[in-house]
Amino acid sequence: MSITLLSSPLQGFTDFRFRNAFHHYFGGIDTFYAPYIRLNGKLKIKTSYQNDLQPENNTTLTIIPQVMTNSAEEFLFVVKYVQSLGYKELNWNLGCPYPMVTKSGMGSGLICQPEKINDILKKAHEESDITVSMKMRLGYESPSEIIESFKVLDQYPLKNVAIHARLGKQLYKGGVDLDGFQKCIETTKHKLYYNGDITTVDAFKNRQECFPSIDHFMIGRGLIADPFLPQMIKANTTEYPKDRWKTFKAFHDTIYTDYDAYLQGPTPIKMKMLGFWEFFAQSFSNPQKTYKKIKKAGNPQKYQAAVAEIFSSEERV
């Protein structure tokens, strides 16, 4: 069975600069979800979201925009916006676990409100011709929430439901609930995509064996921690390319240059790259030491020196 790999969005990480550089150096991802658009009460799309979705910034890749809202009016506003850019699909985020979001009844805090989900899907389907897909967790408190929500979801022609097989209240802690995901397969008529903790080729194979009917898999953090992962899954190999560190360094330098030009100033670029290194460090022999070296680098020159040292010492391992 041929498989489709999708990049699961990470707000603050997988914007167009990251996606384009990733695709140039590594590949292996068929479709990229853009991080969510959130409106914060006003019918206005922030410039950073606009930049992320502009067609001129996304010339080579297949991108699916995403919205996080609990309002039909906001949903339809974002539909119009993404349609004006030429997008045909909008993904709805019912997965975000952060208390600021869930307490206001959004993200995974909305899964337990099937009537509200119904209101929004009804309006979206009556008042627009956009293709809707969902990205959900199993629930906030209990996996029974998603099962209950399928009574509503199954009434709509959704393209697919992608499920991060955790509960909102877990945040990112604890394991994924594979039985919970299996129950979803048995309950809904919709096409499901699996998401959660695919961090190695073996972890991918394990999920594939657990769920033989699933052919779409989404990778989030694992793709940033090890950008070679998608191409290695596709090639069914655990062997890295010979020029692994050279390619990784070239990728690093590309995103550094792009973000540096955009962010302007030593502190924002340092914070941006530190965020990436929390993930990148996991690819190196000593993740903690690697991250510490980057954290300690007090200015751009020291940062560049630390990066050069990290990559060249890894070449020697």
Interacting residues with ligand FMN (CB under 6 A): 8-12, 35-36, 66, 93, 95, 135, 164, 195-198, 219-222
Q: Cβ of residue 209: shortest distance to ligand FMN, in angstroms?
A: 18
Nearest CB to ligand FMN, comparing residues 89 and 197: 197
What is the SS3 string spanning 158-204?
CCCEEEEEEEHHHCCCCCCCHHHHHHHHHHCCCCEEEECCCCCHHHH
CA distance 317 to 306: 17
In 196-264, beta strands by DSSP E: 216-219
Task: Pick the closest to residue 138 from 101, 192, 90, 99 (CA basis).
Answer: 192
Residue nearest to ligand FMN as judged by C-beta position: 220
Nearest CB to ligand FMN, comparing residues 50 and 301: 50
Tell me phi and psi for residue 35, to 5 degrees: -60, 160
Task: Pick the closest to residue 35 from 116, 104, 91, 81 (CA basis).
Answer: 91
Nearest CB to ligand FMN, comparing residues 222 and 245: 222
Q: Cβ of residue 204: shortest distance to ligand FMN, in angstroms?
A: 10
Q: Cβ of residue 315: shortest distance to ligand FMN, in angstroms?
A: 28
Nearest CB to ligand FMN, comparing residues 10 and 263: 10
Nearest CB to ligand FMN, comparing residues 201 and 306: 201
What is the SS3 string spanning 69-114?
CCCHHHHHHHHHHHHHCCCCEEEEEECCCCHHHHCCCCHHHHCCCH
Q: Cβ of residue 25: shortest distance to ligand FMN, in angstroms?
A: 20
Nearest CB to ligand FMN, comparing residues 70 and 306: 70
Q: Cβ of residue 190: shortest distance to ligand FMN, in angstroms?
A: 17
Tell me phi and psi for residue 133, to 5 degrees: -130, 165
Q: Cβ of residue 220: shortest distance to ligand FMN, in angstroms?
A: 3
Catalogue the long-range contacts made by 179-183 (C-beta closer than 8 Å, 24 or more residues apart). Answer: 180/138, 180/143, 180/146, 181/138, 181/211, 182/210, 182/211, 183/143, 183/147
Nearest CB to ligand FMN, comparing residues 9 and 28: 9
Q: Cβ of residue 76: shortest distance to ligand FMN, in angstroms?
A: 20
CA distance 282 to 200: 12
Task: Pick the closest to residue 216 from 168, 161, 165 (CA basis).
Answer: 161
Nearest CB to ligand FMN, comparing residues 185 and 250: 185
Half-sphere exposure of 92 (CA within 13 A, CB side): 28
Q: Cβ of residue 10: shortest distance to ligand FMN, in angstroms?
A: 4
